Amino acid sequence: MTPTRDPLVDALRSVSAGDLAADLDAAIGRAERDGLVDVGYEVTDSPVGPLFVAVTDAGVVRVGFSREPVDAVVEELALRVSPRVLRSPRRTDEVRRQLDEYFAGRRDHFDLGVDWRLTRGFRRTVLERLYEEVPYGRTVSYLELAVRVGNPRASRAVGTAMATNPIPIVVPCHRVLRTGGHLGGYGGGLPAKRLLLALESGEAPLL
Amino acid sequence: MRSIHVPLPPFQRILDEHGAAVHRYCLAQAGPDHGPDCFQEAVLAALTAYPKLRDGSNLRSWLFTIAHHKVVDHHRRQARRPQPMPELAAISAAPTSTGPVSGLDLGGGELWAAVGQLPEKQRGAIALRYLADLPYAEIAEVLGCSEAAARQSVRAGLTRLRSEVSR
C-alpha cells in the first residue's frame, strides 16, 4: 500500500481483524454442500513425491506429479472442466486415503469413481481398457495393449495415450512397458515408474 | 462470432488474490458479528454466478461489488430493526457496552465504528479505498457511480471522520 503521512488514513488501514481462514473454510464448506464446487483439489505427499489430486462429482479427474506446476494444472482444470475449482481437503479426502493405502501396500485396486472427461477418442479407449483389464502387479506392453483395443499397428498411439494420461497411478499407465520388458517412459519420471512396479511386485523395500 | 475474452481463472485464485481484502472489507463494514456472514454470503453468491460470467478481466471489482451488496443488504436489515445499529450503539454507548465493535480486535475498531456512521456511499468508498486499496475507477464500478463521485465520497468521508475523531 502507498505510504501516507495522514494519521487518519494510516489508522483506517491498520485494521486487521477476524479469522480469514475459519471464515473461508466455513464458506467453502457451505459451497460444497450446496453443490457449488465443481472441482476440488489438494496436494498430498507420497513416496513418489507430492501428488496433485482433483475430484469432481463423477470421481477423480486428475492426478499430477510434482513436475507439473500446480498452478498450471489448476488452470487447465478451470478451462477444461469448470472455473469453479477450489482447494478442498474434504473433497479429496477419500482419494488421498486410498492412495496412502496403496503406497503402504494395503490396497491393490482403487474403489473410486473415475471422471474421464480430460481424455477422449482413441486415448480414452486405451486408458479405459488399461484401467479395466490390467490389474495390480501385472504389466502389459504397448503393442499388446494396441492389440487389445483392436489396433495392433497403433502401439505408438498407445504410447501417446499413456504419456497424456490425466489420472496416473489410478489409471495404471505405469504397468505399460516396452516389448521385452524395457521400462519405456513415464510422466512422473522413470524412478517413480520403477518404484510403483516394485511396490506392486512386492519387491519394494517398503516405505 | 465469439468475441475475444479473458478466460475465467480458477476460483481458488480469485480467493487467493482478493479473499483477504474482501474479508477485511466485510468485517469492517458489518462488524465482527455479521461480517463473517456477509463474507460467506459473498463467496457463495460469487461461486453461484461465476460460471456464467462472460469475462475474467475485472474480477476484483466484480467480487467487491457482490460483497458490497451483501454489506448494504445487511445494513438495510439492521436499519429495519427497532434497535439502533450495533455500530452506532457501540460508539455512543457507555464503556461497559458489549456491542459488537467493542469486542472486535481491530487496530482502529472505534475509528471503523465511526466509519459505520457515515452515509452509505461514503462508508463504502472509504472502506474500498483504505481497506481494500482499490483504485478510484474500481471503487466507482463497485458503487455504481462515476470516478469523480467516488473521489468525492472518499474526500467527504475523510472530512467527516476528521471532525468526528478530533472532537
ipTM of the complex: 0.89
Instruction: Return mean pLDDT, chain B.
Output: 83
Give chain A's domain count: 2
Range of the domain at B42: 1-81
One domain for residues B1 and B70: yes
Return all residues near B139 (Cβ < 8 A) that are at least 6 apart.
B124, B125, B128, B129, B147, B150, B154
One domain for residues A112 and A126: no
Q: Which segment of A4-18, A25-39, A57-71, B65-79 scores lowest on mean pLDDT?
A: A4-18
One domain for residues B72 and B132: no
One domain for residues A36 and A102: yes
Beta-carbon separation of A84 and B20 below 8 A: no
Quick one: pLDDT band at residue A17, thresholds 50, 70, 90? low
Residue A60 main-chain phi, psi, to 5 deg: -75, 130
Quick one: pLDDT band at residue A206, thresholds 50, 70, 90? low
B chain contacts of residue A27, beta-carbon cutoff 8 Å: 39-40, 43-44
Q: Which one of the listed residues A48, A173, A192, A196 is annotated catalytic?
A: A173
pLDDT for residue B97 is more than 80: no
Q: Give residue-wise pLDDT tens across range A109-159.
A: 999 999 999 999 999 999 999 999 999 999 999 999 999 999 999 999 999
One domain for residues A176 and A126: yes
pLDDT of the residue at A14:
75
Question: Where do runs of H (alpha helix) occur along A35-154?
Answer: 70-80, 89-103, 121-133, 142-148
Quick one: pLDDT band at residue B112, thresholds 50, 70, 90? confident
> Domain of A86: which CATH number?
3.30.160.70
| A38 among known catalytic residues | no
Residue A4 domain-assigned (yes or no)? no
Give the closest of A23, A37, A41 to B39, CB-based: A23
Give dist(CA B3, CA B123) in Å, integer: 37
One domain for residues A144 and A175: yes
Range of the domain at A185: 121-201
Quick one: pLDDT band at residue A1, thresholds 50, 70, 90? low
Residues 129-158 of B with CB under 8 A from A: 130-131, 133, 158
> Domain of B40: which CATH number?
1.10.1740.10
Q: Give residue-wise pLDDT tens across range A169-199.
A: 999 999 999 988 789 889 999 999 999 999 9
One domain for residues B69 and B126: no
> Domain of B123: which CATH number?
1.10.10.10
Q: Within chain B, what is the greatest distance between any pair of CA atoms?
A: 65
Residue A1 domain-assigned (yes or no)? no
Q: Which of A118, A137, A154 is the last residue of a domain?
A: A118
Give dist(CA B153, CA B126) in Å, integer: 8
pTM of the model: 0.85
Residue B132 domain-assigned (yes or no)? yes
Give chain B's domain count: 2
Residue B162 domain-assigned (yes or no)? yes
A chain contacts of residue B128, beta-carbon cutoff 8 Å: none
Residue B72 domain-assigned (yes or no)? yes
One domain for residues A114 and A129: no
Return all residues near A65 (Cβ < 8 A) that are at least 6 apart.
A48, A49, A51, A52, A168, A187, A188, A189, A192
Residue A41 domain-assigned (yes or no)? yes
Beta-carbon separation of A11 and B24 below 8 A: no
Q: Which residue of B has its CA nearest to A35?
A: B48
Residue B109 domain-assigned (yes or no)? no
Q: Which of A63, A86, A118 is the last residue of a domain?
A: A118
Task: Supply B93's cell numbers.
Answer: 454507548
Residue B146 domain-assigned (yes or no)? yes
Residue B97 domain-assigned (yes or no)? no
One domain for residues A97 and A150: no
Beta-carbon separation of B158 and A9 below 8 A: yes
Residues 81-120 of B with CB under 8 A from A: 104-108, 111-112, 115
